[in-house]
Structure 1
Amino acid sequence: MKAIIPAAGLGTRFLPATKCTPKEMLPVLDKPVIQYVVEEALDPEEVDAAIIVTSPGKPELLSYFQPDRSLEALLRERGKAGYADAVAHAGSMPVDFRYQYEPRGLGHAIRSAADACAGEPFLVLLGDYVVPAKDICDKMLEVSRAHGGASVIAVAPCAPDQVDRYGVIAGDFVGTLEGYEGAGETEPGAVWRIGGLVEKPSPEAAPSNLYIVGRYLLSPLVMELLASQQPGKGGEIQLTDAMARSLDREAMYAVVIDPLSGYDTGTPSGWIATNALMAASDPRFAGEFWAAVDERGGLER
């Protein structure tokens, strides 16, 4: 199974920082955002490679995931074996690339990797969402196995008055993951059968308050439908449009996750908050992080 990671966007909201550095290469602690996503994608035993879909104007991504023997050797000569090991790890992961030559939407980006999937189910992980526990893909795979290999997406609850910011699901609560027995229908571990996908509904018209969080396990049918998908909102080929079409031919499920299980790094404020929150909880950095904060009088809202 392949995991597709779309990473072709311009990073406009981070300009001018992303003028020369792709937003996926911005660091969270000591690794770029994209490495967290790749490591998460490769964590399930079913996945044998990650496919990054990028644009030709981002050679830094390709360079980062290639071996750099000279740098490794230099670091080892200087007694920095830990850094050398980190560089070697980044260059040894099974990562391949496909290119999206025109910015025609998420669905078009996913379709650009169709040849790598070879008619098999595939994962999609949006490249600006970091999940330290790396457990969402395994939960989707568990639900899929329980329902005959069906497509599964990850969803999370939001406040009812915020549904107009997201794509939300319609459907029925059908059970829970093993170990989550007794969970309510919008609590982590709940499983839904999807009856429809609604993009940014008004609070009054929303079929639920469960929004798609950027992790998908999709069937070959969805990839097939993307080949004929017509442009939708914004004149782009939308992944959710192909997913909605697939509902006429096969079942799709959703698993509810804790909305705090991941970090959204897609905006400057989100990226800053991710760094601060992860630094505060990582024993490698927490001491010096809080010392630096305290030196300046602490944090005030």
Structure 2
Amino acid sequence: MEVKKAVIPVAGMGTRFLPATKSMPKEMLPIIDIPVIHYVVEEAIASGIDDIIFITGRSKRSIEDYFDDSPELENHLRQKNNEKLLKIVQNISSMVDIHYIRQKEPKGLGDAILTAKKHINEEPFAVLLGDDIIVNKKPCTKQLIDNFIKYGRSTIAVEEVPMEKTGSYGIIKGHPLDDSLYILEDIVEKPSPEEAPSNIGAIGRYVFTPEILDCIKQTDIGVGNEIQLTDGIRLLNEKQKVYAYKFTGKRYDTGDKVEYVKAVIDFALNKEDMREQIKEHISNINL
């Protein structure tokens, strides 16, 4: 029942951040000096994952370069006797085993995950979306893995979302077992507020049994003319019950401009060498 593999889909176009994402993956947008995707990988590692599969697309090469060795940069830092930065750069390239699979065309999140089927090899696995940063002492993915080990069922992370934003999420209908855990009854992809079964939305963290892959394969084209993971989860739930877990932590959807700015500000305020200057700047803003 160990969960040692994770799929991180990063093939999306990042249209909400155009024109910046014309030449730069949205997952490489920096939170001050560390790209978003770095925090996602760190969460996976802190959750016990030791094998990561990136599902990439065109123009995503910089993600591969980021996690690769950089001999020229390392030599430069070594010559400058900058041991602190040298250690940081070296640690990035040795974080974890990483593999890359290209999604040939953007057919949706379900299709992206399905491309990892051969590498998953009938093992349980986690899925972490590449533009969500979740801050908590116990990583969100680890919370899901613990629930998966306890119940032996696929578990998706959920949180309450504003009713006016249900059209941006997979919205669940669930039978509550306690304050944080639901047995899934249904899940609907991006419903209008009038059609939403609740205001509990699935966010970018999942732990699945390998059967989810066959379920995705059996689904038809769904919302947005794409193969939706939500439809695969609904089919899986007919065969083996799926759980929804209301995770603990602060989530930043860095694919949203406002949430991205909030993340940058909050992370800056947590840096000792920046905190006072940022607080002073904020206090001097005339709104």
Of 137, 152, 159 in structure 2, the residue corresponding to residue 156 of structure 1 is 159
Of 43, 68, 71 in structure 1, the residue corresponding to residue 70 of structure 2 is 68
Q: Which amino acid aligns with 1:107?
A: G
Q: Name structure 1 gaps, 5 residues minimum.
A: 176-184
In the TM superposition, what whole-angstrom CA distance separates every residue of 1:99-151 from its partner, at most 9, and x where no partner exists? 1010100001111111221111111111111123361111111111221x210
Q: Which amino acid aligns with 2:254?
A: T
Quote the residue 2:285 is aligned against: 299
1:289 aligns with 2:278: yes
| Structure 1 counterpart SS, 2:187 | strand
Q: Name structure 2 gaps, 5 residues minimum.
A: none
Q: Which amino acid aligns with 2:140?
A: I
Quote the residue 1:210 is aligned against: 200
| Structure 1 counterpart SS, 2:177 | strand
| Structure 1 counterpart SS, 2:185 | strand
In the TM superposition, what whole-angstrom CA distance separates every residue of 1:173-194 from its partner, at most 9, and x where no partner exists? 113xxxxxxxxx3xxxx11111
The question of whether the paired residues in 1 share the 8 Å contact of 2:25 and 2:59 is answered with: no
The question of whether the paired residues in 2 share the 8 Å contact of 1:3 and 1:42 is answered with: no
1:122 aligns with 2:125: yes
Query: In structure 1, what is the Cα distance between the partners aligned to 2:238 and 2:86?
Result: 51
The number of residues matched between the two structures is: 282
Q: Identity over aligned residues, as a percent?
A: 36
Quote the residue 1:246 is aligned against: 236
Equivalent residues in 2 for 1:149-298 (5 A)? 149-160=152-163, 162-175=165-178, 185=179, 190-258=180-248, 261-291=250-280, 293=281, 298=284
The question of whether the paired residues in 2 share the 8 Å contact of 1:42 and 1:50 is answered with: no
Query: In structure 1, what is the Cα distance between the partners aligned to 2:160 and 2:218?
Result: 32
TM-score (norm 1): 0.87
Of 127, 136, 140 in structure 2, the residue corresponding to residue 136 of structure 1 is 140
By how many angstroms is 1:283 displaced?
Answer: 2.2
Query: In structure 2, what is the Cα distance between the partners aligned to 1:229 and 1:300?
Result: 52
| Structure 1 counterpart SS, 2:55 | strand
By how many angstroms is 1:161 displaced?
Answer: 5.1
Q: Which amino acid aligns with 2:227?
A: I
Equivalent residues in 2 for 1:90-109 (5 A)? 90-93=92-95, 94-109=97-112
| Structure 2 counterpart SS, 1:115 | helix
The question of whether the paired residues in 2 share the 8 Å contact of 1:8 and 1:53 is answered with: yes
The question of whether the paired residues in 2 share the 8 Å contact of 1:168 and 1:210 is answered with: yes
By how many angstroms is 1:300 displaced?
Answer: 4.2
Query: In structure 2, what is the Cα distance between the partners aligned to 1:204 and 1:14?
Result: 29
1:146 aligns with 2:150: yes
